[in-house]
Amino acid sequence: MEYDFDRMIDRRGTHSAKWDKMEDVYGVPNEDGIPMWVADMDFHAAPPIQRALDEMRRIGVYGYYGDDESYLAAIQWWMRHRHGWRVEAESIFTTHGLVNGTAMCVESFTAPGDGVVLMTPVYHAFARVIRAAGREVVECELSLNDGRYEMDFDAWDAQMTGRERMVILCSPHNPGGRVWTRAELEGVAAFAKRHDLILVSDEIHHDLVYGGATHTPMSLIEGVEDRLVMMTATTKTFNIAGTHSGNVIIADPDMRNTFAARMAGLGISPNSFGLVMAEAAYTPEGAAWVDALVTYLDGNRDILDAALNSIPGVKSMKMDATYLGWVDFSGTGMTPEEFTRRVEKDARIAVNHGPTFGKGGEMFLRFNFATQRPILIDAMQRMRAAFHDLQ
C-alpha cells in the first residue's frame, strides 16, 4: 500500500504544542515559523488507527476502559515480531506516557536525595522529573568520538559516590540517534550491577531505526532481569503522542509489586483512546505503515544532513535512529546566543536548545525533521540563507 507522507496538513490552530506554541516558547512567529522542536510528526496516523477511532465515533460513547486481553496480546505480538522479545502479559503496566512512567519509576525505586544517573546529553524531561521529585541528577557525559556518542564507563565509575540508586538509559539515544550495540548494552548492565543501580531503559524510539542498524532491547541482555524496567510506547512510532499512553514493563515480581503500589497510590488508570489506538497500531498493517514511514524519514534525514553539512562549521550528527537531528554549531566560531538567534530570528525555525539536554549539549541544536518534504526543504533553504556569510 502507498502512504502519502507528502500530503500537507495544516496543524496551525489545532492546539498543537509544536505549531501553536513556538511563538510563546521561542519567539518564532506562529504564522510563518517552521516548528522543528517538539517530538511529534506532521503526518496522519496509520489507517488502522484511524479506523479504530472511526469505530469509537460510530458507537459514540466514551466510557471507562476494561478487558485489556486483546490490547496486551497486541503488545506481546509487536515485541515478539518486531523486537524478538517475549513479554509476559502480567509484566505490562499502562501509564500516561513515558515521562509519567519515568517519574513513577523514580518515585517507586529511589528516595529523596538519591542520585539518578543520566548519560548526557539526553532527553531533557528525565532531569526535569528527577529534580522535581527531589532526587539528584548525576550527569555522566557521553564521549564524542569520530562524530558519534560513546559510553565511557571508566570515567563514570570514577564519578560514582555510592548515593546513586538508578540509571536511566535512552535506547536508541535521543539526541544523537545512536543505536547502542550489544556490547555497549552489556557494558550498561555491568555498570548497573557494579553500582547496584535500578536500570530503566527508555526505548520509545525503538521502531524508528534506519537500515544497517539493529536495535537490541535491554531485556535481551542477560543478568539484569532483577533490576530492569523497560519502557516502550506506540506514541512516537505511530505519531499518537497526544494520547499520553505508554508501557512500563517489569519482569521482576518484587519490583512489579512496588511499581503497582505506586500506580495505585496515584490513582492511575488507562485512557481508552490510547489503548484502542495502540491495539490497532500493533498489527501487521501498522507494521507496514511503520516500514514506509522509516523509508520516508530516511529520505528526510539525507536532505537535512546534506543541507546542514554544506554550511561550513555546521555538522549534523550521523544518526542510526529517531527523527531528531542533532546539529553541532561549534565549528562556526559563533556563540550559542548567535547561532540560536540566527536560527530563530533569521530562519524563523523553532528548535530545541542543546543545553536543555545536559552536559555536552552546549553547542548543539536539535532539529525534528518528521515533516512533509516541502516544509523541510523550505527550512533548509532558510538555514542556508541565515548562515550565507559562512558559505
Provide DSSP, 86-108.
Answer: ---GGGEEEESSHHHHHHHHHHH
- Residue 235 makes contact with ligand PLP by CB under 6 A: yes
CB 24 within 8 A of CB 369: no
Task: Find the part of the chain contacting ligand PLP (CB under 6 A) among 59-67, 96-104, 298-306, 368-376.
Answer: 96-104
Compute the least distance from the CB of residue 236 to ligand PLP, in Å.
6
**All residues at 6 or more sequence positions from 370 whose CB lies less than 8 Å from its CB, including other chains:** 39, 40, 41, 42, 43, 239, 297, 300, 323
CB 227 within 8 A of CB 110: no
Compute the least distance from the CB of residue 170 to ligand PLP, in Å.
5
In DSSP terms, 368 is beta-bridged to 324
- Residue 204 makes contact with ligand PLP by CB under 6 A: yes
Cα(160)–Cα(285) distance, rounded to whole angstroms? 46
Q: Which of positions 9-48 make contact with ligand PLP (CB under 6 A)?
A: 39
Compute the least distance from the CB of residue 216 to ligand PLP, in Å.
17
348: number of Cβ within 10 Å: 19
Task: Find the part of the chain contacting ligand PLP (CB under 6 A) among 48-56, 95-103, 288-296, 376-384.
Answer: 95-103
Compute the least distance from the CB of residue 97 to ligand PLP, in Å.
3
Compute the least distance from the CB of residue 73 to ligand PLP, in Å.
22
Q: Which residue in the set 35, 246, 286, 354 belongs to the binding site for ligand PLP (CB under 6 A)? A: 246
- Residue 174 makes contact with ligand PLP by CB under 6 A: yes
CB 324 within 8 A of CB 271: no
- Residue 207 makes contact with ligand PLP by CB under 6 A: no
**Distance set, CA 181 to CA 81, 191, 203, 214, 217 (Å):** 20, 15, 14, 8, 10
- What amino acid is encoded at 142 in this protein? L
- Residue 107 makes contact with ligand PLP by CB under 6 A: no
- Residue 372 makes contact with ligand PLP by CB under 6 A: no
Q: What is the CA radius of gyration of the chain?
A: 21
Give Dmax over CA atoms of the chain in angstroms.
Answer: 61
CB 278 within 8 A of CB 245: yes
Q: Which residue in the set 99, 106, 118, 294 belongs to the binding site for ligand PLP (CB under 6 A)? A: 99
Compute the least distance from the CB of residue 272 to ligand PLP, in Å.
17
Q: Which of positions 264-323 make contact with ligand PLP (CB under 6 A)?
A: none
Residue nearest to ligand PLP according to CB distances in the complex: 97
In the numeric block, the cell 528516595 is attached to: 111
The three cell numbers of residue 327 are 546539529
Cα(10)–Cα(369) distance, rounded to whole angstroms? 16
- Residue 202 makes contact with ligand PLP by CB under 6 A: yes
Task: Find the part of the chain contacting ligand PLP (CB under 6 A) among 60-68, 94-102, 139-147, 193-201.
Answer: 94-102
Q: Which residue in the set 116, 170, 197, 218 belongs to the binding site for ligand PLP (CB under 6 A)? A: 170
Compute the least distance from the CB of residue 124 to ligand PLP, in Å.
9
Residues touching ligand PLP: how many (CB under 6 A)? 13
Q: Contact positions toward ligand PLP, by CB under 6 A?
A: 39, 97-99, 123, 170, 174, 202, 204, 233, 235, 241, 246
